[in-house]
Every structure is written in structure tokens, then in C-alpha cells.
């Protein structure tokens, strides 16, 4: 029998891996090429879930201050490489997992309120939100990748 924590993290990890895998084998130019009218790039899209991990588990749940260096919304700093962006994403995910495993109860309440919300939320809600958001962005990454070089998720 798997715990609620294990189930939520397993689903989150599947989506995390899908987001990172969408960048594999592409050139730096391909990662930075917008292929949809909004101008979204695969490298920019990768930065967004990285920021979500840092924001929700660090800033909101733990109450840690700070900004994510090198990333502003969906824009990526000029010197950021695909490999560095994937490494930053994987590091942010590992740190998030540490936060989740450090809490004995998923009902633990966040230290801070997410901007635009009225109350502090439980770790369980944060995990559910990240499963939803990361899954959505994994789908976006699949579409961008297919538009770049025709490769589809297997």
C-alpha cells in the first residue's frame, strides 16, 4: 500500500520528468525558438515549473524569501543553457521533495500566504496544485517539442 505522499509525488515526478525530457536532444537555438504565436519557447516553459517549485515549496510553504535568479516569468536570461535550465529544474524538484519528506503530515500549514489568496494552505493542497500545474506544462512541452522537430512523447 502506498501512502498519500507517495502517490502524489509519483504523479508529480512523472510530469516533472516529461517536462525535462521534452528538451532532450535539442540545440540551444531550438530551445529558444518560439513556435507558437504567444512567443513561448521550450526553454522559457522549463523555467516556469522551476519557478513554481521554488515558489510553492520554498517561499509559500517554508516562508523563505528570495527570487529565482536568471528567470523572469517566461523569459530566460541570455546566458542560460538548456543543460543549466534542466539542472536547475531538477535541483528545485529535489529541494521540493526534501521539504515534502521533512513534514510528517501533509496537513501541515504553509508559513506564508500565496500572493492573491486569503489564507495559508496545507502541504497537501500545494502538492495537488503542483501535480495539476506541472502536468499542464508537460502537455505544453509535448506540443512545443512536436512543433520544433516532430518528436512526440512516447
Structure confidence by residue, pLDDT tens digits, 2-27 = 899 999 999 999 999 999 999 999 99
Domain assignment of residue 45, yes or no: yes
Nearest to 147 by CA among 66, 41, 20: 41
Q: What is the pLDDT of residue 105?
A: 96
Nearest to 130 by CA among 54, 69, 78: 54
In the structure grid, which three cell numbers stand for residue 92, read together? 528545485
What is the model's pTM?
0.91
Specify the pLDDT at position 67.
58
In a domain, 62, yes or no: yes
CA angle 21, 140, 89 (to 5 degrees): 45
**Beta pairing partners, 72:** 75
Our count of domains for the chain comes to 1
> Could you tell me if residue 154 is inside a domain?
no
71: domain CATH number is 1.20.120.450
Shortest CA distance to 60 belongs to which of 111, 134, 131? 111
Task: Provide the domain limits for residue 126.
Answer: 4-149
Question: Which stretches in the chain have pLDDT values below 70?
Answer: 66-73, 154
Amino acid at each position: 500500500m502506498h501512502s498519500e505522499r507517495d502517490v502524489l509525488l509519483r504523479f508529480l515526478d512523472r510530469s516533472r520528468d516529461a517536462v525535462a525530457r521534452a528538451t532532450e536532444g535539442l540545440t540551444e537555438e531550438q530551445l529558444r525558438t518560439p513556435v507558437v504565436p504567444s512567443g513561448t519557447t521550450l526553454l522559457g516553459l522549463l523555467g516556469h515549473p522551476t519557478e513554481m517549485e521554488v515558489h510553492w515549496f520554498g517561499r509559500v510553504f517554508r516562508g523563505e524569501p528570495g527570487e529565482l535568479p536568471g528567470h523572469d516569468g517566461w523569459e530566460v536570461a541570455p546566458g542560460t543553457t538548456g543543460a543549466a535550465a534542466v539542472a536547475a529544474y531538477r535541483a528545485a524538484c529535489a529541494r521540493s521533495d526534501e521539504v515534502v519528506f521533512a513534514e510528517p503530515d501533509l496537513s501541515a500549514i504553509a508559513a506564508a500566504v500565496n500572493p492573491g489568496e486569503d489564507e495559508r494552505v496545507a502541504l497537501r493542497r500545494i502538492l495537488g496544485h503542483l501535480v495539476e500545474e506541472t502536468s499542464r506544462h508537460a502537455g505544453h512541452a509535448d506540443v512545443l517539442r512536436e512543433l520544433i522537430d516532430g518528436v512526440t512523447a512516447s
